[in-house]
Each structure stands twice: as structure tokens, then as C-alpha cells.
Amino acid sequence: MLRIAIQKSGRLSEKSLELLSEAGINFANSERKLVAKAGNFPVEALYLRDDDIPQCVADGVADVGIVGENVVMEKGYKLEVVERLGFGKCRLSLAIPKNIDYEKLSWFNGRKIATSYPNILRKFLVQNGVKADIHEISGSVEISTGIGIAEAIFDIVSSGSTLISNGLKEVVEAAKSEAVMVGKNSRLTAEKKEILDTLLFRLHAVQKGRKNKYVLLNAPLEKVDKITAVIPGMKSPTVVPLAQSGWCSIHSVLPDNEFWEIIEKLKKLGAQGILVMPIEKMIV
Ligand code: PRT
Ligand code: ZN
């Protein structure tokens, strides 16, 4: 049995469970008691506050955990990132009141900065030769400058709207974060390693599917070479003749991040009837 620590309730909870569910792992216990067994896979979920997950994995109470990289960095336990999960993306940034003229990092020398991430901030300031006063608070960091607790803040930013609505501007991005699966490989028994490998195989298939789209299009035969050069496919695109002579259907897989550029190129090359579909799982 492999024990996975998951955030009990918060920004990463649903997406963690959704990812595991897409990998065929579902937990019967919907009220999220402390521990829940999966119905059809030798895994159990341990529901915790995200702040407790790194230590639980470090101590071996859980074998792996799904948590924000920011929390892993802040807690400082020696853990390995087993898998990057592609959700919960955010950055850790320094922000100051928007009316202040800001030129460079030395502005922070001698200033008071409020944060819930004192360790990450301290490391960043040391690396950049800045000496500032770190004021640790556990929540509502964004209101610190407004109420006079600090002159700047260091906090998680995602869309940036929280900063704007508190009259702040982001001036330095210190780190990026996303949800990761962390573990301590040396602790795992052979049995747990095997379960983790099977789980990772499934997660890769789900994640690869999420990063790609399946595309079908019709093309004039004389354009097939040019079109297939634009769409890479898994090995190479599938080309099937159409009932109408002089035409064929091409099937392929496109990476999501280059998707629109490739579609534009395909249209220019004479592709028609382009259909695009999500891929549920992709095993290469
Ligand atoms: O109860 P528990 O301790 O488990 O949860 P929590 O309240 O400590 O964390 P939670 O659920 O808020 O966030 C969990 C994780 O989600 C974080 O550790 C990050 O890895 C990730 N994440 C991604 C975020 C955000 N995006 C985010 N935007 N965590 C927090 N925020 C907050 C941020 O603190 C700020 O107040 O959202 C605000 C900024 O958002 P924007 O969009 O206005 O910029
Ligand atoms: Zn927390």
C-alpha cells in the first residue's frame, strides 16, 4: 500500500483528486476523513493541511505527497520531486505600493517586508546581497502595507488582481511554483516503489494527454508532404484516402502550446474540415 498525502481542502485538493481519478484511482470516502483507501489500486490518501505535507513525507508518515513547490521550498526538508503536475501554477514575488518609484532591488535595503514565506525570502535576499527586515505573518499579507505593518510584501501571485486591489505593484519575481508530487525514494520498499512506478506511468499518460490535442483534417493530395512536415504526430501522421479522388484525411497529435500557430500554417497550406479533439490518455 502506498500512502499519498493530499491537501484536505484548498486550492490543490480538487485538482489533485481529479488527476488521480483520471489515472483510475478513486477514493470512496467523499467526506475526506483523515485516511481513505482507493477502491481499485493499492493506494491510500492521507488528507492534511498543505503546510504539514512536506514533514509527513520527510518523516515517512506518507510515502509521497502532492503539494505546492512553494511550501516544499519554504519548509526545507530534503525531498525529491517525483513528478511536476502542471496545476496550481503561481509565482512568489516582491510587491510595493504602486505610487512608489522603483528602480532596482537595492530599494529593499533596510525596508520591512511582510511575508508568510520567510525562508524563501531570506534565501533570495542573501543571494542578491539585500539586507531587509523580514516580518513573518501567517495570512492576509497583502494588507500589510496599507495598515503600516511593512513597506513591502513577499507573497504568492497568480493573476495579480489581489495586488492591484490592494494598491500594490509586483516589482520582482523571486520564484515560480506549481503542484508537485514529492517523495523520499530511499525510504520506499520494493513493493511501494513498484506501486509508485505504476502510478507514475498512469500520471504520465494523463499529463501527456492534457498537453496534446488530436487533430483530423482533409487535404489535397498534392499538399500532403508539406502538411505532414508541419504536424509531427506520435511517429508520423496517419494519411487515409478520401472517397473523393485527389483528397485525403490526415490524423495527428499536436502539442497544446504550439496549437494555434500550427493550425494557421495548416489553413494556409490548404487543409480543410479541421477537427480538434481532447486526448484523454496518451501512451507512447
Ligand atoms: O488550509 P491549507 O493550509 O491546506 O491551505 P492554504 O490556505 O495554506 O493554501 P491554499 O489552498 O490557498 O493554496 C494552496 C497552494 O495553491 C499554494 O501553496 C500554492 O502552491 C498554490 N496557489 C496557486 C496559490 C495561488 N495560486 C494563489 N493565487 N495559493 C495562494 N494564492 C493566493 C495568494 O496567497 C494571494 O492571496 O491568492 C492570492 C493571489 O491571487 P491572484 O490571482 O489575485 O494574484
Ligand atoms: Zn497552508
Residue 160 beta carbon below 6 angstroms from any ligand 1 atom: yes
Cell numbers describing residue 25:
484511482
The domain made up of 2-86+179-208 is a member of CATH 3.40.50.920: no
Cell numbers describing residue 90:
503561481
Name the band, by pLDDT with cuts 50, 70 and 90, for residue 28: confident
Residue 162 beta carbon below 6 angstroms from any ligand 1 atom: yes
CATH H-level, domain 90-177: superfamily: Periplasmic binding protein-like II (3.40.190.10)
> Do 90-177 and 212-278 fold alike per CATH?
no
| Domain coordinates in residue numbering, the chain | 2-86+179-208, 90-177, 212-278
Residue 145 beta carbon below 6 angstroms from any ligand 1 atom: no
Nearest ligand, measured from the Cα of 139: 1
The C-alpha atoms of residue 160 and residue 154 are separated, in whole angstroms, by 13
- Residue minimizing CA distance to atom 20 of ligand 1: 68
Nearest ligand, measured from the Cα of 141: 1
Residue 90 beta carbon below 6 angstroms from any ligand 1 atom: yes
Radius of gyration (C-alpha) of the chain in whole angstroms: 24
Please state which CATH number belongs to domain 212-278.
3.30.70.120
In the chain, what is the straight-line distance between the N-terminal and C-terminal CA atoms, in Å?
27
pLDDT at 24 over 90: yes
DSSP line for 133-199: EEEE-SS-GGGTTTTTS-SEEEEEESSSHHHHHTTEEEEEEEEEE-EEEEE-GGG--HHHHHHHHHH
Q: How far is the CA of 208 from the centre of ligand 2 (A)?
A: 29
Q: Which atom of ligand 1 is nearest to the CA of 13?
A: 11
Cell numbers describing residue 47:
488528507
34-61 per-position pLDDT tens digit: 999 999 899 999 999 999 999 999 999 9
Residues of the chain above pLDDT 70, percent = 99
238-263 per-position pLDDT tens digit: 999 999 999 999 999 999 889 899 99
Q: Max Cα separation, the chain? A: 76
What are the Cα distances from residue 274, in Å, to 241, 264, 277?
16, 11, 10
Which pLDDT score, from 0 to 100, does residue 29 have?
A: 66
What residues are neighbours of ligand 2 (ion), with CB under 5 Å? 50-51
